[in-house]
Amino acid sequence: FGTPAGGGVAPKLLFRQLFEKESSTYTYLLADVGHPDRPALLIDPVDRTVDRDLSLTKDLGLKLIYALNTHCHADHVTGTGLIKASYTLLALYVANIFFTKMPTVKSIISKESGAKADLFVEAGDRVYIGNLFLEVRATPGHTVGCVTYVTGDERDQPQPRMAFTGDALLIRGCGRTDFQGGSSSQLYHSVHSQIFTLPKDTLLYPAHDYKGFTVTTVEEETTCNPRLSKDEGTFTNIMENLNLPYPKMIDVAVPANMVCGLQDPPLSAI
Amino acid sequence: FGTPAGGGVAPKLLFRQLFEKESSTYTYLLADVGHPDRPALLIDPVDRTVDRDLSLTKDLGLKLIYALNTHCHADHVTGTGLIKASYTLLALYVANIFFTKMPTVKSIISKESGAKADLFVEAGDRVYIGNLFLEVRATPGHTVGCVTYVTGDERDQPQPRMAFTGDALLIRGCGRTDFQGGSSSQLYHSVHSQIFTLPKDTLLYPAHDYKGFTVTTVEEETTCNPRLSKDEGTFTNIMENLNLPYPKMIDVAVPANMVCGLQDPPLSAI
Ligand SMILES: [Fe+2]
Ligand SMILES: [Fe+2]
């Protein structure tokens, strides 16, 4: 999606990790500040913190073009809808004055999620901001439509690589597999074939953390993850005996997120 | 404190930011993993999360040698005492078996803080882990003994530089100045002379954040900090009219932290 901006400008990553306490969700901001437009994207924005995220992109002089979701979340309402709405309202307002067109933010989710969005990605796709890109890897198992976004493998892309794993891989853990078409065997294969095969210094950024960890690496999780470092049989056995309570937010969050957090929210919802 | 390890090994920073939700405190782990001993230090550990921090240093194969405090905290009990105690107990236990000496962790705080610790630092001192070092800058104003720890200015030290500002500078904010010998005028001068004079891409890591921000830069705060980007008169006026409630934890935390979080805790306290 999009194409490299080219123009002989080297990409330069601006990166911010942002935390939402209520649902312990991490949102990630990435921008190519080597590019004159300073194009940016948000991964897994949360509805409660959209104001914070938009004011940060404004402070940093970024042009937000994409709002990506790693999957259809069951524990919080995505901020994608509100972000699109904020920009739309602003566009209407400004259009009235200047007859000009404002940038619009496009929401992105995987085709397999079954959720609504402006753009749908699948394994192998690239999402470009300026001359930086994220590669899409299919990592189903927590939900059927989970994807992991990984920074590019080329010389001018960030080193070490970074992977945004959603709930497929958490720091010393992983997402549950008992809802939303989850499968522990599928999750095991996803993580081992799509994440643990990345270079061992790859930085792994999850969608959540409940203990205050912020980042891990492939090397660390292959050896220290108490679930995924085990063999498949042990893993599926662990996952089938978690006895977790029914997810608190699922009945609110899933319907909202299937339409990408109010894909086209009524004006009164803002 | 300490000396460069030398030996022709280039330093290689391993860095982790860790969050404690209750008091919204950030703890930082830094290690030189280019050095064969993998020596490490913790900045502003919290008593509640000592187990997490020690298990992480163990997972990463690090040798923890220092526990630093940016100041005598009023909002949480430092983890320094418990960390020292854990190591002492372990040392006793292992000594019984192997007749060997375990590494000990030394606590560090500024001389001006008036608090107890194993080592006292002042402006201009360097704290070494392997071939990496932190430079001490005096940044009083939130408390009399506040210091900022800044990574070195030499070619083999991390680029961009990183500064651990404690409560002197928070992201889009700053610590209160109405307790513990605070002074808004002194804080203004500390930040402007010791932090804002660092290169503009210096990464600033505060001791707290209440909105989920994780990092900022000198450039960002000099322009976007709603308090410290103003002139001194405006700043002191803002600080004198905050009307903040009495700090919740101060009567517990300050006495404990004056002895560096139970400097020599009784064995029953662990
Ligand atoms: Fe999820
Ligand atoms: Fe403080």
CB atoms within 10 A of CB A244: 9
Mind listing the pLDDT tens digit for each residue in A1-20? Answer: 888 887 778 899 999 999 99
Helix axes A50-59, A80-98, angle to 10 degrees: 50
When scoring A12, A17, A30, A62 by the number of chain B Cβ atoms within 10 A, the one with the most, hence best to mutate, is A17
At residue B90 the predicted structure's pLDDT band, cuts being 50, 70 and 90, is: low
Q: What was the pLDDT predicted at A265?
A: 46
Q: What are the φ and ψ backbone dihedral angles of A68, each rounded to 5 degrees?
A: -100, 145
Do the chains contact at A56 and B213, CB–CB below 8 Å? Answer: yes
- Locate A182 and state its tokens: 């989850």
Number of Cα atoms under 13 Å in the Cβ half of residue A125: 18
Rounded to a whole number of angstroms, the distance between the first and last alpha carbons of chain A is 28
Smallest CA–CA distance from A22 into chain B, residue: B21
Compute the distance between CA of residue B80 and CA of residue B223 in angstroms, rounded to an integer. 35
Give the pLDDT mean for A55-73. 96
Do the chains contact at A214 and B213, CB–CB below 8 Å? Answer: no
Do the chains contact at B224 and A18, CB–CB below 8 Å? Answer: no
B129: enclosing H helix or E strand: strand B126-129
Contacts of A256 (CB under 8 A, 6+ apart): A77, A78, A81, A262
Q: What was the pLDDT predicted at A260?
A: 64
Q: What are the φ and ψ backbone dihedral angles of B96, each rounded to 5 degrees?
A: -60, -30
Site of tokens 């930040």: B191
What fold does the segment set A13-243 form as a domain? Metallo-beta-lactamase; Chain A (3.60.15)
Q: What was the pLDDT predicted at A261?
A: 58
When scoring A28, A59, A208 by the number of chain B Cβ atoms within 10 A, the one with the most, hence best to mutate, is A59
Cis amide linkage into residue A160, ω under 30° from 0: yes
Q: What was the pLDDT predicted at B95?
A: 44
pLDDT tops 80 at residue B191: yes
Q: Comparing B128 with A98, which gets the higher pLDDT? A: B128
Contacts of A61 (CB under 8 A, 6+ apart): A38
Do the chains contact at A59 and B212, CB–CB below 8 Å? Answer: no
Mind listing the pLDDT tens digit for each residue in A140-173? Answer: 999 999 999 999 999 999 999 999 999 999 999 9
Mean pLDDT rounded to a whole number for chain B: 90
At residue B78 the predicted structure's pLDDT band, cuts being 50, 70 and 90, is: very high
CB atoms within 10 A of CB A193: 12
Do the chains contact at B18 and A224, CB–CB below 8 Å? Answer: no
Q: What was the pLDDT predicted at B259?
A: 80
pLDDT tops 60 at residue B262: no
Q: Which residues pair with B42 in a beta bridge?
A: B29, B67
Give the burial string for A56-69 (b: 16+ CB within 10 Å, else e).
bbeebebbbbbbbb
The chain B residues in contact with chain A (CB within 8 A) are: 16-21, 49, 52, 56, 59-60, 211-215, 220, 223-224
pLDDT tops 70 at residue A76: yes
Give the pLDDT mean for A249-254. 86
% of residues, chain B, pLDDT over 70: 90
Phi-psi category of B242—alpha, beta or left, where left has phi over 0 and alpha has psi -120 to 50? alpha
What fold does the segment set B13-241 form as a domain? Metallo-beta-lactamase; Chain A (3.60.15)
- On whether the CB atoms of residues B145 and B112 are closer than 8 A, the answer is yes
At residue B148 the predicted structure's pLDDT band, cuts being 50, 70 and 90, is: very high
